[in-house]
Structure 1
């Protein structure tokens, strides 16, 4: 069975999948401790740490929209090797950074490298699988991402606690990406690409303006961005909150980042099967309501039941995420005109760029405001209220555009 599965896909597919696994091990190892490292170990404070996190997220999810077309033009192998060199260098310099601007430069290099990598791997999966096997190919791709994101926090914690040097996480990541570079150089070959138009920056922005004229698409992007602003708290303000209520949790903070991927690995299939019986928007709204309950309970769980109990809130969030995340891309593909399907799907990822890009810093601003007014206990209930407003906005959006 395993041999038959292996033979169903070309060599570039399996090479790209293995490179993606290594890339996930590196990126999620870094992310699992990054906000604590920036805020506490480099003494940048919460505001600057979350500004850096948001900037990384924005670049990582906005740039692939442009870079995907460049990769088609320049060649996947060349683009991939360039991205891996950039990321290996970025991780190395991050391990040496000791100020805001030096770590900023290193993290921006990592963001750019990661943005280059995303469309190359996804494009390889698409081009090396026939129509019959494409769904299976992308399923393998997403499983690998979740396996990497589950294992990586454990590795990061092991390296940091055993060495006593958190910057060694960056060195570990540099070695992993360097290994991926060697594999891409020696084993990866360009898949047979389809002929297409020459990439044009002017055409890209023309298409952007064309899509911006679609009120339905723009409204959905802006409303749905709120969900990802909340998701960004898992990587930013929630770890900072955990450490603030229990300093000992700093030694185990990476373990909290293992909750979301293990829940997805275990439950994505049954939840996806249930949600497939409903229209995309009701599924998305239901998922956001569950996520509202999740984020609202973070403060209560941490304050009254101890920091480890916040894992319950994160598990609840994962259930909501499995309900809304896959259906959003599906919804965008449904509302897209037939001749603009690829364009709409590409811009359907803008909510991640907007939400993840602004969420960490906006969360910090909200926290600072509530602390000044003596209402710091309302931080996570306020985020829950924001989730409720997002769900209500999508409900009325659905009422308006249902037909």
Structure 2
């Protein structure tokens, strides 16, 4: 323990703490709105479940897919410029999303088809948001030592989840006091403040300043080099199934709670369970599992992911409505597996990255999450509309299907580990 505290004092450069602090507020903004996005789209803007899922897929998919390119550009132009652009765009984008549901701005959208308009706003917002994570993770890679890198990624993940916990709590207070549409104004203000922090406080890491910047042509070549690594891409594609299982908590569970428990239930607080679990347990689990091989840590996460949805399936199989307490328990189980594997995953990618390509490789870390959002939003909306609505009354089928996706992911990762281990 004493050694850990000494590492906290001497093993991190100042930019590490500033970047992670900004990430906390960005995640606060993101998860505050993410917990209510599907309900905001369906119940407030009157889209159906499939349309709500499609719009969620557009935003969530792009905000995690574009870091592949945004990470390369951040490596080229520097993290300070990337952060400045990102927070400026996010502040505007979140305001515009919320304005679609605010009465004072109704004249802006009168007699307009809201689906393509909102799609354009979500794409704009996602472009800004895509620069955040590769820039933060790139900063972590350059502002830690070999001894503190693992702890650094655990701290990063801990602060991400602090934002993911505080954001939904604020969203619940705002929705309860002012209305669901005003949650987006809180997200906008949070990002505007971080834009100011970037301009006046954040300093480019010294290692970044000393790097030899590559041409845009070389950046494109670097991207292609990563894409050609078939083994690496297969690994990321299998991970996409895991993240589909994760994101369905944000698509399916809000619908289920609103339809079967109460539309006034604290959806945001329920969905923040995973974040609070990680806040409490991430650092201890990181210390306890640091010697577990990465493939084993990843398999723990996959198994727990499938188990959480099967528990929901078996409870509802007899027609019993799942209570909020049991939903909280299943999210807790999922999060224990998540925090076992996630920091190790980022550390693994950081070690793969050649010099000057830290943000590029960390950008590819979000390809599985992007695929999961691009497919998972529409997939979750469709299976819920087909089986889960009150009119159909078969939510257990929804939970079963998602659990089977988790089983498929675990089986594929098990085979992948066997093959890679045999060849290595």
Length-normalised TM-score, structure 2:
0.83
- TM-superposed CA distance for 1:197, in Å, is 3.9
Distance across 1 between alignment mates of 2:222 and 2:81 = 26
User: Given that residues 301 and 307 in structure 1 are in contact (C-alpha distance below 8 angstroms), is that contact kept between their aligned partners in structure 2?
Assistant: no
- TM-superposed CA distance for 1:16, in Å, is 2.7
- Counterparts of 1:74-89 in structure 2 under 5 Å? 74-89=77-92
Of 61, 64, 77 in structure 2, the residue corresponding to residue 61 of structure 1 is 64
Gaps of 5+ in 2: 102-113
The equivalent of 1:92 in structure 2 is 95
User: Given that residues 270 and 324 in structure 2 are in contact (C-alpha distance below 8 angstroms), is that contact kept between their aligned partners in structure 1?
Assistant: no
Is it true that 1:190 corresponds to 2:209 in the alignment?
no
Is it true that 1:387 corresponds to 2:411 in the alignment?
no
The equivalent of 1:359 in structure 2 is 376
Of 328, 352, 358 in structure 1, the residue corresponding to residue 345 of structure 2 is 328
- TM-superposed CA distance for 1:375, in Å, is 5.4
- TM-superposed CA distance for 1:252, in Å, is 0.8
Superimposed CA distance per residue, residues 152-192 of structure 1 (whole angstroms, 9 cap, x where no aligned partner) = 111111111012x2111111222222222222222233332
Distance across 1 between alignment mates of 2:20 and 2:296 = 33
Q: Per the alignment, in what secondary structure is the counterpart of residue 388 of structure 1?
A: helix
The equivalent of 1:145 in structure 2 is 160
The equivalent of 1:256 in structure 2 is 270
Length-normalised TM-score, structure 1:
0.87
- TM-superposed CA distance for 1:333, in Å, is 6.6
Is it true that 1:220 corresponds to 2:223 in the alignment?
no
Distance across 2 between alignment mates of 1:285 and 1:116 = 29
Of 286, 304, 312 in structure 2, the residue corresponding to residue 290 of structure 1 is 304
Q: Structure 1 pair 260/180, CA: closer, same or farther in 2 (3 Å)?
A: same
The equivalent of 2:105 in structure 1 is none
Is it true that 1:241 corresponds to 2:256 in the alignment?
yes
Q: Per the alignment, in what secondary structure is the counterpart of residue 190 of structure 1?
A: coil
Backbone CA RMSD of aligned residues = 3.1
Q: Structure 1 pair 387/12, CA: closer, same or farther in 2 (3 Å)?
A: closer
- TM-superposed CA distance for 1:231, in Å, is 0.7
Is it true that 1:278 corresponds to 2:289 in the alignment?
no
Distance across 2 between alignment mates of 1:331 and 1:121 = 16
More divergent stretch after superposition (70-79 vs 111-120): 70-79
Q: Per the alignment, in what secondary structure is the counterpart of residue 214 of structure 2?
A: coil
Give the structure, 1 or 2, with the largest relative contact order (CA under 8 Å, sep 6 or more).
2
Q: Structure 1 pair 195/184, CA: closer, same or farther in 2 (3 Å)?
A: same
- TM-superposed CA distance for 1:8, in Å, is 6.2
Distance across 1 between alignment mates of 2:45 and 2:66 = 28
Q: Structure 1 pair 144/199, CA: closer, same or farther in 2 (3 Å)?
A: farther
User: Given that residues 95 and 167 in structure 1 are in contact (C-alpha distance below 8 angstroms), is that contact kept between their aligned partners in structure 2?
Assistant: yes
- TM-superposed CA distance for 1:232, in Å, is 0.8
The equivalent of 2:39 in structure 1 is 36
